[in-house]
Amino acid sequence: GENVEQHPSTLSVQEGDSAVIKCTYSDSASNYFPWYKQELGKRPQLIIDIRSNVGEKKDQRIAVTLNKTAKHFSLHITETQPEDSAVYFCAASMKVITGRRALTFGSGTRLQVQP
């Protein structure tokens, strides 16, 4: 099955700096890679996702890059703000048309933005 590794486990940055979280996946058949933000005791919220037919996607201060050859993808947050502090999870999923495959999550990164 799929295995997703995520680094770092914790990340502390100063407000205004950039934050980068990296994930690798094992199954070359995976083709959908979402990133979720989870605040303490709350549900994971999708913040950005990318499919295997593109290499980069950007949404305001958030961007995701995908390297299919190396099987890794990264989340980039620019101009970080204290409200960005949360746990971020990457995930990978195989082609959904097959029906049953769900998301395999990374271990999470606790991001702390220091004001």
* Residue placing its CB nearer to other proteins in the complex, 16 or 46: 46
Closest CB 109 distance from other proteins, rounded Å: 10
The answer to whether 21 touches 4, Cβ cutoff 8 Å, is: no
Q: Does residue number 41 form part of the binding site for other proteins (CB under 8 A)?
A: yes
Which H/E stretch holds residue 25?
strand 19-25
Helix (H) or strand (E) holding 32: strand 30-38
**Coil, strand or helix: which one is 76?**
strand
For residue 91, with 0-12 CB atoms within 10 Å meaning exposed, 13-18 middle and 19 or more buried, which class applies? Answer: buried
Rule CB under 8 A: is residue 34 a binding residue for other proteins?
yes
Amino acid of residue 25: Y
Judged by CB, which is closer to other proteins: 52, or 78? 52
Interface with other proteins (CB under 8 A), residue from 24, 74, 80, 93: 93
100 binding other proteins? (CB under 8 A): yes
Question: Interface residues with other proteins (CB under 8 A)?
Answer: 32, 34, 36, 41-46, 49, 51, 89, 93, 95-97, 99-100, 102-108
